[in-house]
């Protein structure tokens, strides 16, 4: 990005001037084409943002597809299920539905896109969501799309729904990293087909009236990769559930435990570098071991690295655990690690810091915005550098005072900057701005 472009983008203020309208509670439709709260950040975002918006007095209805989001109904959040054909469900992903399962042309589109190697869900969910919302005119004050970016969302304002969209980071980044890691031309062709939906997302993003994102790094990527007008892109930091992710001295520290979260064995997450770093660290700290919150890969780079370094007994994968079990897992670790090559925000970093667990993290993407300065609130290393990662692990495992200092400073940083209540208040301000902007726009069209 040129210096001129950077100057044009500039620092985005977290606060917008709300319209002169009343501060009455809003009726919000929050769209989520996938919402698993235990795998990836989108489901976590939907669950916690909807809860905090409800606590502020707003009415929130989450409209989602499989895997359905988990919402806090005891806080007043409701869930409307908008089912897809669920083509990627376990244990039969990429399944072909029975003829009786087809309901309409959108279902046929979903299956045919899968058959050609593409990923249909952002498009087909957006089409179903538009049809659903068109039948419910007047039910909502604003629609908030959580990174669907499908053609069906264009023109919602014409049927009475101001639209705000969150883009956590452009999926074009994932596509670029997977292409770089592709081992042969066949894999590159497969990656191109799978990520075909990013062309649609780029076209849609450029036409959106209001885009929220979670970090300054993501904002720059959205402007550069997707070509969105920088004046339409606003940063609202997300955060950790600081009531749940909190220190607890009664939880014993497990010597040598390193914990990380990796929802998939993809280059973006950098898990293979952490496995290599663990092997190096164990030469000085034989008790060092890794607990990965995520599914164990049966093949691929991570499985190969574990076998190559003889780490079968030193790397454990856990999945499907409760929130309480996850928090205790992090509390009991001597180190939390984020080895990603790129992150649009990094919730695992914020959550680990909130527990007071010292953090080792790369400088990929927005991670430094969350983790803070090297040596003050974390130990920072370059992405993709297993040697530097190993050196930081060894340093932290051998220095209890440093662990205590970084852990305390990390929690204080999260409490000051990254909470879900702050995220909800900032998001609601942009809702009101979008509602206020719709009135003069409608007059201009008339």
Is the same domain home to 200 and 262? Answer: no
> Is residue 244 domain-resident?
no
Q: Which domain holds residue 60?
A: 3-239+420-445
> Is residue 216 domain-resident?
yes
Give the model confidence (pLDDT) of 241-263 as tens digits.
999 999 999 999 999 999 999 86
Q: Answer whether the bond into residue 67 is a cis peptide, omega within 30°.
A: yes
Is the same domain home to 12 and 112? Answer: yes
Is the same domain home to 223 and 266? Answer: no
Q: Which pLDDT score is estimated for 405?
A: 98
> Is residue 218 domain-resident?
yes
Residue with tokens 């190559």: 308
Name the pLDDT band for 173 (thresholds 50, 70, 90).
confident
Mean pLDDT along residues 147-168: 94
Q: If you average pLDDT over every residue of the chain, what do you get?
A: 90
The pair of three-digit structure tokens given for residue 345, joined into one six-digit string: 């925000």
Is the same domain home to 380 and 436? Answer: no
Helices (H) and strands (E) in the chain, counts: 16, 13
Is the same domain home to 436 and 293? Answer: no
Residue with tokens 């081992």: 183
CA quadruple 307, 386, 290, 250: dihedral, nearest 10? 170
Radius of gyration of the chain (CA): 22
Name the pLDDT band for 361 (thresholds 50, 70, 90).
very high
Is the same domain home to 342 and 428? Answer: no
Is the same domain home to 412 and 367? Answer: yes
CA distance to 12, 232, 356, 435, per residue, from 229 (Å) = 13, 6, 39, 20
CATH of the domain at 200: 3.40.50.2000
Please tell me which residue, 93 or 404, carries the higher pLDDT value.
404
Is the same domain home to 166 and 308? Answer: no
> Is residue 120 domain-resident?
yes
Is the same domain home to 105 and 10? Answer: yes
Is the same domain home to 221 and 147? Answer: yes
Asked if pLDDT for residue 3 goes beyond 50, the answer is no
Q: How many domains does the chain have?
A: 2
> Is residue 246 domain-resident?
no
3-state helix, strand, coil in the chain (%, to 5): 45, 15, 40
Give the model confidence (pLDDT) of 321-355 as tens digits.
888 999 999 999 999 999 999 898 999 999 999 99
Give me the count of residues in the chain. 446
Q: Which pLDDT score is estimated for 61?
A: 98
> Is residue 296 domain-resident?
yes
> Is residue 249 domain-resident?
no
Is the same domain home to 283 and 158? Answer: no
């Amino acid at each position: 990005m040129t210096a001129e472009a950077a100057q044009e983008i500039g620092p985005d203020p977290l606060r917008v001037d709300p319209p002169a309208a009343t501060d009455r509670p809003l009726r919000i439709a929050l769209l989520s084409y996938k919402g698993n709260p235990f795998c990836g950040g989108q489901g976590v975002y939907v669950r916690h943002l909807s809860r905090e918006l409800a606590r502020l007095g707003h009415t929130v209805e989450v409209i989602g597809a499989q895997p359905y989001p988990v919402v806090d109904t005891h806080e007043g959040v409701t869930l409307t299920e908008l089912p897809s054909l669920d083509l990627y469900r376990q244990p039969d992903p990429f399944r072909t539905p029975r003829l009786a399962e087809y309901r309409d042309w959108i279902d046929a589109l979903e299956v045919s896109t899968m058959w050609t190697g593409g990923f249909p869900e952002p498009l087909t969910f957006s089409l179903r969501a538009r049809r659903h919302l068109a039948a419910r005119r007047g039910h909502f004050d604003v629609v908030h799309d959580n990174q669907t970016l499908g053609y069906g969302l264009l023109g919602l304002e014409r049927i009475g729904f101001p639209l705000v969209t969150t883009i956590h980071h452009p999926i074009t980044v994932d596509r670029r990293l997977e292409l770089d890691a592709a081992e042969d031309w066949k894999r590159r062709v497969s990656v191109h087909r799978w990520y075909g939906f990013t062309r649609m997302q780029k076209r849609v993003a450029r036409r959106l009236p209001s885009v929220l994102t979670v970090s300054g790094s993501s904002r720059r990527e959205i402007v550069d990769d997707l070509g969105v007008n920088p004046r339409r892109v606003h940063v609202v930091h997300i955060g950790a559930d600081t009531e749940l992710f909190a220190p607890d001295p009664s939880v014993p520290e497990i010597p040598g435990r390193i914990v990380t979260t990796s929802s998939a064995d993809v280059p973006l997450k950098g898990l293979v570098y952490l496995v290599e770093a663990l092997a190096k660290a164990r030469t000085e700290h034989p008790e060092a071991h890794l607990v990965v919150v995520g599914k164990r890969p049966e093949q691929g780079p991570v499985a190969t690295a574990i076998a190559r370094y003889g780490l079968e007994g030193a790397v454990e994968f856990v999945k499907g655990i409760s929130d309480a079990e996850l928090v205790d897992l992090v509390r009991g670790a001597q180190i939390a690690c984020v080895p990603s090559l790129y992150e649009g925000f990094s919730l695992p970093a914020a959550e680990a810091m909130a527990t007071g667990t010292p953090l080792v993290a790369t400088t990929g993407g927005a991670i430094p915005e969350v983790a803070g300065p090297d040596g003050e609130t974390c130990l920072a290393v370059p992405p993709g550098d297993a040697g530097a990662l190993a050196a930081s692990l060894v340093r932290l495992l051998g220095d209890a005072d440093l662990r205590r200092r970084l852990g305390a400073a990390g929690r204080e940083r999260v409490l000051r900057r990254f909470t879900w209540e702050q995220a909800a208040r900032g998001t609601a301000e942009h809702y009101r701005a979008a509602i206020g902007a719709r009135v003069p726009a409608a007059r201009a069209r008339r």
